[in-house]
A and B are shown apart, each in its own frame.
Chain A
């Protein structure tokens, strides 16, 4: 009976956008109530100024603020209420836990949201599966993983159309799943519910430009003073920002390399492989090296991260994603060196397997943080341009 009442109450709370007691969201609401009465951290990032525009924290506010949080750690080290204080405020950790539930709850299709919960396993299974698939495919097509094709051509092993046929649908599905997920998220937290539409129209352009800049510069990993965020202790470091830049821009360069190559193939009829100093090769080499350096650096920082930062349960997700990116790049660069050698077919299968695993897990892994974070930054850029509804006066 008690249980039924609890369930009814939870259902009602959910329907009203209220926070269900005992959840990760409830913990964030509890902590933000303390933060909102203190406000010392306003200079660090956007989370705290966004918080001060609110008196209460419903489900939508919490999902928004959690994704606005970059887990930089500054507010934890500066907090007079951090553990062992009985208030036990640890905003980065509480926010990280909510982010996982955001990814899970807003995933499309909803049934696949579960893949976030044990994401290390998800990534591992996807990798093993994809690797096995390409090994088998190679064997089936060529009878061996070791024979060097006379032309040293990748397409001699996997015909171009076969690769496009395998990767394009997976990639497009990932893009679709992420888009639908973030659309659901946006609908929940949208400021359209709070503000008049005409007011929004006038500020959308500037807000979008600012949000894009803040995301691309990782503004909120600068600590508010430009000297960086925290990693293993209360010292500031710019290395988290730098390695993330290397990772992200490395990824973009690799993606650009693939895109240019696709244009070469279909528009100009130039078939791979492309050699130096061709554009795909230059982009791919630069991106690949950058990705290697970035992910290796992030991995090292992740290993040394302060134990109270973030949610320890999500480390497998973080590290799984870094590993996939690292090995995508490593096998890709390895292929360049191995062309014409006996290991090329095996290495190609390996590379394609890792890339396939990366694509498969894009919408159900760490990659999603960038999409949800960008949406939250956009909301903040909109919201800060609108007048606050509170009139708290001077304290």
Chain B
């Protein structure tokens, strides 16, 4: 019998597998995806939020524990667990040497991401390079890896893990780590969680999934049915406004639209609905997913003129271009009269001071609702561009409740050999909101804890698998 079974194939799963293997356990990792799609959402990540008290290789200045904690407190609005959050934060200050040992390399912040130069360490080549490095290291250490191996249910007896089922196959192990991601790719579940709006629409039908198609939440649902203690609100997810032409899955980072604050955004009725200049885009992009989700047909249109070109990160698809605003409305399928009324009202309301897109400048509107409080300049210089926006789901928050040993809980009692890491428990630390790189901090910290704990549980359960003894407390 295998010592430690790891279910999942992303960052948290790999951290768990590597730690368990390093602790001397035999490890089998089951990745639901085929090899070419391995790594889940980790393959789309790019950095790790790191506490540090002094400059460290690619990290400048300092990012002390307290500041990190305050940032987390702010973005979650207090929906967090201070003990687990501080554990994550401290782990982030020491884990990078271990990551390097397994082949992960870091690089200075990417262009266009200098605002996180102090707080975030970027993976050289991004998350897929990290995932590749971990798989390679795991293979070298003798971790068994199986692709195309989605687990559909577990055998659990009184909170004790016995076996996992993959299709018709039953796999026993002395301990198990669950790290199989959230449920954001499960369209049915999203539909159910978001429900129907006042117009009778099912908003989630118009959502795009920024990451993997393999996060179906099978085990989250299964664990809930098995009576595991849950955490988080199923209708909550990290949801950003992305290009409506993005693929249904795996659009990743490049489908973002960064020109919202430089123009206006209208809905399908050609009306504005929110202050586009409320704050810097990196601080606001995460609310725009929900804003667009609340509009009819869950679509928005970011409208800019040529003055904005060269001042925002280039989008992946070219914008719809027109030489006049009515022509743009026509090309976007918007009612031209309403569109012109909206644009004329906005243009007339602009009070242009000194435009500076790198500061909260004094260009604002007066006498128009909603107001635009910064970077308000009339949209008047052809050619004009329009980008259709849709809500893009990055990840969900619903997960399993854990303690500082990453143990799955049943009725408040921690399991002795079932652990959970990554998106499946991130909601313990991150009940809502998001700040760059914190998902990888949680996945790395709890993946490593879960791997260590699982290895210990397997050793404790009696025999080492090497001697072929199969003494588990609960008979299968």
- Binary interface profile of B, 260-284, with partner A (CB < 8 Å = 1, else 0)? 0000000000000000000011100
B294-353 contacts to A, CB under 8 A, are: 309-318
| Contact between chains at B132 and A234 (CB < 8 Å) | yes
Which single member of B108, B128, B247, B315 contacts A86 (CB below 8 Å)? B247
- Binary interface profile of B, 427-462, with partner A (CB < 8 Å = 1, else 0)? 000000000000000000000000000000000000
Most chain B CB inside 10 Å of its own CB: which residue of A38, A78, A225, A393: A393
| Contact between chains at B312 and A43 (CB < 8 Å) | no
| Contact between chains at B358 and A78 (CB < 8 Å) | no
- Binary interface profile of A, 212-226, with partner B (CB < 8 Å = 1, else 0)? 000000000000110
Q: Is B165 an interface residue (CB 8 A)?
A: no
How far apart are the CA atoms of A79 and B126 in the complex, in Å?
Answer: 8
- Count A interface residues, CB 8 Å: 37
In the complex with contacts A78-B128, A391-B357, A37-B105 CB distance below 8 A: no
| Contact between chains at B107 and A43 (CB < 8 Å) | yes
The interface residues of chain A lying within 8 Å CB-to-CB of B247 are: 86-87
| Contact between chains at B125 and A394 (CB < 8 Å) | no
| Contact between chains at A37 and B313 (CB < 8 Å) | yes
How far apart are the CA atoms of A391 and B115 in the complex, in Å?
Answer: 15
Q: Is A80 an interface residue (CB 8 A)?
A: yes
B23-42 contacts to A, CB under 8 A, are: 36-37
Most chain B CB inside 10 Å of its own CB: which residue of A33, A77, A78, A391: A78
Q: How far is the CB of B321 from chain A (nearest CB, A)?
A: 13
The interface residues of chain B lying within 8 Å CB-to-CB of A297 are: none
A56-90 contacts to B, CB under 8 A, are: 74-75, 77-81, 84-87
Q: How far is the CB of B99 from chain A (nearest CB, A)?
A: 13
| Contact between chains at B124 and A44 (CB < 8 Å) | yes
| Contact between chains at B316 and A37 (CB < 8 Å) | yes
Which single member of B125, B280, B357 contacts A44 (CB below 8 Å)? B125
In the complex with contacts A33-B316, A34-B316, A80-B252, A391-B311 CB distance below 8 A: yes
The interface residues of chain B lying within 8 Å CB-to-CB of A86 are: 247
Q: Is A55 an interface residue (CB 8 A)?
A: yes
In the complex with contacts A77-B132, A391-B357, A395-B313, A37-B125 CB distance below 8 A: no
Q: Is A390 an interface residue (CB 8 A)?
A: yes
The interface residues of chain B lying within 8 Å CB-to-CB of A42 are: 107, 110-111
| Contact between chains at B309 and A37 (CB < 8 Å) | no
Q: Is A392 an interface residue (CB 8 A)?
A: yes
The interface residues of chain B lying within 8 Å CB-to-CB of A394 are: 112-115, 280, 282, 358
How far apart are the CA atoms of A37 and B246 in the complex, in Å?
Answer: 13
The interface residues of chain A lying within 8 Å CB-to-CB of B123 are: 40
- Binary interface profile of B, 142-164, with partner A (CB < 8 Å = 1, else 0)? 00000000000000000000000
In the complex with contacts A33-B316, A55-B310, A234-B132, A38-B105 CB distance below 8 A: no
Q: Is B258 an interface residue (CB 8 A)?
A: yes
Q: Is A168 an interface residue (CB 8 A)?
A: no
The interface residues of chain A lying within 8 Å CB-to-CB of B281 are: 395
- Which residue of chain A is the closest to B358 with respect to CB atoms? A393
Q: How far is the CB of B41 from chain A (nearest CB, A)?
A: 10
How far apart are the CA atoms of A75 and B125 in the complex, in Å?
Answer: 7
Q: Is A41 an interface residue (CB 8 A)?
A: yes
- Which residue of chain A is the closest to B34 with respect to CB atoms? A84
Name B's interface SS: loop
Q: How far is the CB of A98 from chain B (nearest CB, A)?
A: 20
Q: Is A36 an interface residue (CB 8 A)?
A: yes
The interface residues of chain A lying within 8 Å CB-to-CB of B313 are: 37, 392, 395
In the complex with contacts A43-B108, A74-B125, A80-B43 CB distance below 8 A: yes
Q: Is A202 an interface residue (CB 8 A)?
A: no
- Which residue of chain B is the closest to A226 with respect to CB atoms? B105
Which single member of A39, A77, A235 contacts B111 (CB below 8 Å)? A39
- Which residue of chain B is the closest to A53 with respect to CB atoms? B111
Q: Is A52 an interface residue (CB 8 A)?
A: yes
Q: Is B360 an interface residue (CB 8 A)?
A: no
The interface residues of chain A lying within 8 Å CB-to-CB of B316 are: 33-34, 37-38
Q: How far is the CB of B33 from chain A (nearest CB, A)?
A: 11
| Contact between chains at B114 and A78 (CB < 8 Å) | no
How far apart are the CA atoms of A85 and B358 in the complex, in Å?
Answer: 35
How far apart are the CA atoms of A300 and B110 in the complex, in Å?
Answer: 36
Q: How far is the CB of A43 from chain B (nearest CB, A)?
A: 3
The interface residues of chain B lying within 8 Å CB-to-CB of A85 are: 250
In the complex with contacts A34-B254, A49-B111, A79-B128, A393-B46 CB distance below 8 A: no
| Contact between chains at A80 and B128 (CB < 8 Å) | yes
- Which residue of chain A is the closest to B115 with respect to CB atoms? A394
Q: Is B256 an interface residue (CB 8 A)?
A: yes
| Contact between chains at B314 and A55 (CB < 8 Å) | yes
How far apart are the CA atoms of A38 and B250 in the complex, in Å?
Answer: 13
The interface residues of chain A lying within 8 Å CB-to-CB of B378 are: none
Which single member of A79, A80, A225 contacts B124 (CB below 8 Å)? A225
In the complex with contacts A42-B107, A43-B107, A77-B129 CB distance below 8 A: yes
Q: How far is the CB of B181 from chain A (nearest CB, A)?
A: 16
- Which residue of chain A is the closest to B129 with respect to CB atoms? A78
The interface residues of chain B lying within 8 Å CB-to-CB of A78 are: 125-126, 128-129, 132
How far apart are the CA atoms of A37 and B318 in the complex, in Å?
Answer: 11
A121-142 contacts to B, CB under 8 A, are: none
How far apart are the CA atoms of A81 and B44 in the complex, in Å?
Answer: 9
How far apart are the CA atoms of A391 and B359 in the complex, in Å?
Answer: 13
| Contact between chains at A395 and B126 (CB < 8 Å) | no
In the complex with contacts A34-B254, A43-B107, A394-B280, A80-B127 CB distance below 8 A: yes
| Contact between chains at B125 and A40 (CB < 8 Å) | yes
How far apart are the CA atoms of A390 and B399 in the complex, in Å?
Answer: 43
- Binary interface profile of A, 2-44, with partner B (CB < 8 Å = 1, else 0)? 0000000000000000000000000000000110111111111
| Contact between chains at A41 and B132 (CB < 8 Å) | no
The interface residues of chain B lying within 8 Å CB-to-CB of A225 are: 105, 124
Most chain A CB inside 10 Å of its own CB: which residue of B46, B280, B310: B310
- Which residue of chain B is the closest to A390 with respect to CB atoms? B310
How far apart are the CA atoms of A310 and B305 in the complex, in Å?
Answer: 39
How far apart are the CA atoms of A224 and B126 in the complex, in Å?
Answer: 13
- Which residue of chain B is the closest to A89 with respect to CB atoms? B254
- Which residue of chain B is the closest to A234 with respect to CB atoms? B132
The interface residues of chain B lying within 8 Å CB-to-CB of A55 are: 309-310, 314
Most chain B CB inside 10 Å of its own CB: which residue of A40, A81, A390: A40
| Contact between chains at A395 and B132 (CB < 8 Å) | no
Q: How far is the CB of B184 from chain A (nearest CB, A)?
A: 16
14 cross-chain CB contacts under 8 A: A37-B314, A38-B126, A40-B253, A42-B111, A52-B111, A78-B129, A79-B128, A80-B127, A81-B254, A225-B105, A234-B136, A390-B310, A393-B358, A395-B281
> Sorted from nearest, which 8 A-B pairs have the closest CB atoms?
A40-B126, A78-B125, A43-B107, A37-B254, A78-B129, A395-B112, A37-B316, A38-B254
